[in-house]
Each structure stands twice: as structure tokens, then as C-alpha cells.
Amino acid sequence: MGIVDEDVQRVRDEADIVQVVSGYTQLKRVGNRFSGLCPFHSERTGSFSVNAEKNLYYCFGCHAKGDVITFVREKEGFDFVEAIEWLANKSGIQLRYTDANQSKDRQRKERLQTLIKGAAEWYHDLLLKDPAAAPARAYLRERGYTGEIVREFEMGWAPDDWDQLAQHLGASNKDLVDSGLGLINRRNKQQDWFRARVLFPIKDARSNHIGFGGRVLPGGEGAKYMNSKDSVVYNKSSVLYGLDRAKTNIVAADEVVICEGYTDVIGYHIAGVPRAVATCGTALTERHVKELKKYCNRVVLSFDGDSAGQNAAARFYEWEKQYDLDVRVVDLPKGADPGDLAFSDPELLAAAVSDARPFLEFRVNRVLGNARMDTVEGRAKAAEEAISVVAEHPDSLVRDAYALQIADHTQMAIETIRAMFNPGFARGVIDLRQREPNHPYDPGGPPPQRPPQQSRPPVRYPKVEVLALQLAVHDPAGIGALIVADTFSVPRLGELFALLVDTDDFDVVANSVDHDDQSLLYRLAVETADAEPLDVACQIWRLLIERERSARLRAFDPHDVDDQAALTSELRWFQETLESLTSEHSQEVTVSQLLAWIGTGSEEVVP
């Protein structure tokens, strides 16, 4: 399947390479050529040349070369088809596809994106002009957002009504639902997805509108943050907020800053760091990493200091090696928020990115910096905790280098530090758990030894999540109707669960994952899955609710009156939901409600 060859050639012939390149660097005519500073490398004297007649470019400095299609692919990170579509759109060329269904699918996708763009413009206009949006405007002013910032980021306001957007759009039921803009309620009436929220439009890398992130006003009802649900055009596991406006700066700096929320991205932009993006209500996934690798080689994490990737350390180390990335972490003051620092101390925020430390160094320094070093016992405890962090890294040379630092910091002999690593240290296999005989997800007996490059450090997974994965191996449709990947506390188990449910083909999944995951799946496949799906699902939902309740309590600001009022309501919801999950009479209904709730993809799941 692809684009008709004649259309590809037409795009190649009609696309104006001078106009396209001028969007990235200033060109001036020199004879029958155009020249300027190279958009692919830093230079003071222009060595980049464009031949408009032949639609070709060449840089005498870095030797970058190609036609207009190659240029777009290199600058935008597109594949061939995406580059052709991008250029065709710029040139007003209607493309034909070799597969009729593919053409219809793309046309439908474009229609939905146009619908979402129309919604974004309507929401934006309401925020700027509607008297009912006055509280939203006041809130944004309090946060420091000027009218210029509101317009630049196209912020909007979803009115506190059931169907104003639906009436404005006049879309069919199917288009309204498939676009993620609304739903059909029990009375078979159209209903808006967002109500009483400040909205942040989400676009794909090509600047197509695909969804929204919504923030409730202080004291408002519902989840604090709420995203569009996954749809034909929007998938939170691959989308990055702000990538459309940041990608050019990401390429220029060979670096991207990854944040946790929309306001963080805006904050970095205000502070002069326009290469920030954010995940949309989900943890960083491999799909995100693959997308960002198209643009840069350095990833800077700007997450909460106490949880900056710690729950996914093994995955980050794996991505570092697999995609040849330099993963670093911004070390912000405890409790600091990029969105607030952008106004109170923008220089500090920008400097924190410049001074970002390697991922492992940041974690080790955090452990040692929080330790008590005034006693022998304190130093020994610090060494033990730091070693447990370093032991997760798959490279023995890296581990040994950090062993030297730990020894120096804790005033302990390097021989002692090295001895504290278990025997697996030299082989690149670190066993961080006490093995339990006949464990339901890890049968008794040691696993077969594997070469270090094929194995990840073993971890101990929550029993109920492994049971859910086992049910997905044997009956993906059954358990897949009760939970989703985001309910798992271990991202990798959630990813495997999604693969099993989405493909409904064990062999395809088993042959597509790495050695360790394949071994786990095969172990689960040969065991009997006799757990009741609803019971397992309710256990997983309870654990998720408890995690979110704990996170909300940690985030509570006792000095914020609005937050105090909101917390009371939210804690009541947490408790009522937990009780409903334990009652046989309400379990099914509660699970259905929670599936709809988590479908919002909230950044901070605070009901």
C-alpha cells in the first residue's frame, strides 16, 4: 500500500524547495542559485546551496544533500509517505493511494482533524470573549499567563454546559465520538466531552489538531486534568504535547526536554527553552522515545525530583543503549514546578536544563545527598542504598565507576563497596530479589543464564498484575474488557498486556518482544489461568485508586484554600470507589465507570 507513483512525481516536481527551505533558514539569491546558513549544522558563513530548477540542495560544510522530499524527511522526522503528504498539503495536491481503503481512511482522518481544529478555534474564541469564561481568564492571569501567551498556545475554554460544542459543530454522532469531542449519552443525545475546563489543544508533529488536555479550575468538580480519549486520530501512548512547535528547536539543539504537563512546556518556553514537550497523561513509552529519536540524541527528563524515572529505571537504561541516547535529568529544587519557576526564576529554570545530569548520576546523587553522613551507620546505609541504584545499570564498567564515587563519598574502602555487590555484578546480571520457591509467576529454581546483553536486571512484579497478564495470555478479550494498560503499576507489564489484547495473537506478540518478556509470556502460557477476571480486575483497580489517593495526598498544599476544599471531595470519591470495588453488587458497574474515567488519560488522576 502507498501513494500512486504519478502523484509522488507530481509532488516532487511541483513542491517549491526554496519556499520549503525558507521556512527553516533565510535564503538569498546568488546568480541562479539560493544560499544561506545550513539548517542542519551550526555555522557563521553560509555554505548551504539550493538549486530551485532541479529542486535539490547541498551543504558544502556538512555535506547534507537531497531533494525537497529528503529535506522534509530530515527536518521533520517524517517517513516517506508522511513527507509526501506534508508537501502535497502545502502545494494543494490531492493524493491518490494504491489501496482504496487506505485513501478513505486518510480522508476520514483528515475530516476528523478538521473537526477538532474547528472545536479548538471555537473554544479559543470563548476563552477570549465569552463573559462566562471570566473565571478562566482570571485564573490564567493569576498563573501569570498574558493574553499573548494565551493566543500563542491557543488556549481555550470548555463551557459548563452539556452540549454547546456539539450544537456548534453540528457533526454526526459517529464523527463526534470518533473525534473524541463528545459522546452519546443514555438518552441518545450528543454530549460534549469537556465541561468547565481550560483547554490546551494537542497537535501531532505535522501541526494537525488531534485532541485536547483540560484543566479544571480550582475548586471545580472532576479530575484535575483530563485528556481527550484515544480515538482514530489521538493515542496518548505516542502523542507528545508541544512537539509541533518544538521540533525545529529540538533538532537545532540536538536535545529535547520531556515534562509531565502542558503548563511545564509553556513554562520552559517562557524561560527561553523552546524545546520542551510533555507526555499526555501517561508514562513515557518506547513509542515516545522512537519518535523523539528522529529529532535528537539527548533526552532531558524534567519530572518530579523524587520520582524522575525511578519506577522505570531499567527501561531507561535499555532505551539509552538501544537508541543510542544520552538520558539526563533536570535537578530542580524540591517541590519546584517549571510552570511557576518560569515566572519566579526563569534563569534558574534555563540553567537547570543546561546543568542536567546523567540519569544514573542524578539518582545516585539524590540518594547520597539525602543521607546522613555523620555516623558510620549512616554512611553504610547510604552506600547500600546507592549500590542498589547503581546495580540496576546493565554496564559493568559504568557500575564500577560509580562504585568508586560511592566509596569516596561514604569514606569506605573501594574493596568493601565492590564486595557489597552480589556475585552477579561481574556477569552483568544483578538479582535484586529473594526468590520464592514455586512462586505463581516465577516457578522455583533459578532461570537459565543468559548473555548480559540479552537480559534486563530481574525485578519482582506485583502478583495480581502478573495474574492479569496471564489472563490476557489465555483470554485477552475477557480481561481486556475490564482493565487497560494504564492500570498497571509496572509499565512494561501494561505494554505486554496491551499487545496481547490488541493483537489477540499470542505467537505474534511472543515473537515481537525481547528475550526476557518472551520467557515470561511462555511461562504464563503453560500455567493454568484459573483466577476470576472480575476479581483480578477489581484488585488492580483498587491498587490504582490507592496509588492515586497517595499521590493526591502528597501533592496537597495546606496553604491553598481551594486545594483544601477540593481534597475533601476527592478523598470521599476515592473511599466510595474503593468500597464499591469490594461489593459484589457494584463491582461491574464500578469497573465500567472507571474504564470511562481512565479513558480521559488524566495527567494527575485526581477525581
pLDDT of residue 257: 96
Contact 379, 351 (CB under 8 A): no
Position 440 in a domain? no
Are 121 and 54 part of one and the same domain?
Answer: no
Which CATH number goes with the domain that contains 13?
Answer: 3.90.580.10
Are 117 and 202 part of one and the same domain?
Answer: yes
Contact 340, 413 (CB under 8 A): no
pLDDT higher than 50, residue 124: yes
pLDDT of residue 435: 33
Mean pLDDT, residues 198-210 taken together: 94
CA geometry: angle 154, 158, 162, nearest 5 deg: 155
DSSP three-state, residue 558: coil
Rounded distance, CA 329 to CA 310, Å? 11
Domain count of the chain? 6
Rounded distance, CA 469 to CA 476, Å? 9
Position 432 in a domain? no
Q: What is the largest CA-CA distance in the chain?
A: 81
Are 104 and 181 part of one and the same domain?
Answer: yes
Are 333 and 244 part of one and the same domain?
Answer: yes
* Residue 310 bridge partners (DSSP): none
Position 512 in a domain? yes
Mean pLDDT, residues 80-88 taken together: 88
pLDDT of residue 31: 80
Contact 342, 270 (CB under 8 A): yes
* AA identity, residue 7: D
Label residue 433 by pLDDT band (50, 70, 90). Answer: very low
Position 232 in a domain? no
Mean pLDDT, residues 138-162 taken together: 95
H/E element, 591: helix 587-598
The Cα-based distances of 444 to 431, 437, 516, 519 in angstroms read 15, 4, 17, 15
pLDDT of residue 430: 34
CA geometry: angle 210, 213, 215, nearest 5 deg: 160
pLDDT higher than 80, residue 54: no
H/E element, 336: none
* Contacts of residue 235, Cβ cutoff 8 Å, sequence gap at least 6: none
Label residue 507 by pLDDT band (50, 70, 90). Answer: confident
Q: Which three cell numbers stand for residue 116?
A: 477538532
Q: Which of 525, 548, 563 is at the close of a domain?
A: 525
Averaged confidence pLDDT in the chain: 84
Label residue 416 by pLDDT band (50, 70, 90). Answer: confident
Which domain, by its residues, includes 404?
371-427
User: How far separated are the first and last CA of the chain, in Å rounded?
Assistant: 44
Q: Which three cell numbers stand for residue 149?
A: 501567551
Q: Which three cell numbers stand for residue 47?
A: 555554505
Mean pLDDT, residues 499-522 taken together: 82
Using alpha carbons, select from 281, 285, 291, 230 the residue that is nearest to residue 260: 281
Rounded distance, CA 277 to CA 255, Å? 11
Are 82 and 142 part of one and the same domain?
Answer: no
Are 76 and 104 part of one and the same domain?
Answer: no
Are 198 and 311 part of one and the same domain?
Answer: no
Label residue 418 by pLDDT band (50, 70, 90). Answer: confident
pLDDT higher than 80, residue 604: no
Are 352 and 252 part of one and the same domain?
Answer: yes
pLDDT of residue 452: 39
Are 172 and 121 part of one and the same domain?
Answer: yes
pLDDT tens digits along 328-342: 999 888 778 899 999
Phi, psi of 514, deg, nearest 5:
-80, 180
pLDDT higher than 70, residue 388: yes
Are 131 and 194 part of one and the same domain?
Answer: yes
Position 306 in a domain? yes
Contact 422, 429 (CB under 8 A): no
Judged by average pLDDT, the poorest of 305-314, 389-398, 514-523 is: 305-314
Phi, psi of 516, deg, nearest 5:
-65, -45
Label residue 526 by pLDDT band (50, 70, 90). Answer: low
pLDDT tens digits along 218-266: 988 888 889 998 888 998 888 999 999 998 899 888 899 999 889 999 9
pLDDT tens digits along 543-571: 999 998 898 888 888 887 777 778 888 88
pTM greater than 0.75:
no
Q: Which of 227, 259, 276 is at the close of a domain?
A: 227
pLDDT of residue 510: 79
Label residue 599 by pLDDT band (50, 70, 90). Answer: low
Q: Which of 174, 201, 227 is at the close of a domain?
A: 227
pLDDT tens digits along 449-489: 333 334 455 567 888 999 999 999 888 888 999 999 999 99
Position 604 in a domain? no
Label residue 432 by pLDDT band (50, 70, 90). Answer: very low
Position 564 in a domain? yes
Q: Which residues of 582-593 are buried (b: 16+ CB within 10 A; e: fewer)?
A: eeeeebeebbee
Using alpha carbons, select from 69, 68, 71 the residue that is nearest to residue 17: 68
pLDDT higher than 50, residue 439: no
Position 248 in a domain? yes
H/E element, 333: none
Are 117 and 214 part of one and the same domain?
Answer: yes
More confident site: 377 or 439: 377
The Cα-based distances of 312 to 284, 316, 524, 592 in angstroms read 9, 6, 23, 29
DSSP secondary structure letter of residue 324: T
Question: Do strands 255-259 and 298-301 pair parallel, antiparallel, or not at all (unpaired)?
Answer: parallel
SS (H, E, C) 485-503: HHHCCCHHHHHHHHHHHHH
Judged by average pLDDT, the poorest of 445-454, 481-490, 511-520 is: 445-454
Are 356 and 377 part of one and the same domain?
Answer: no
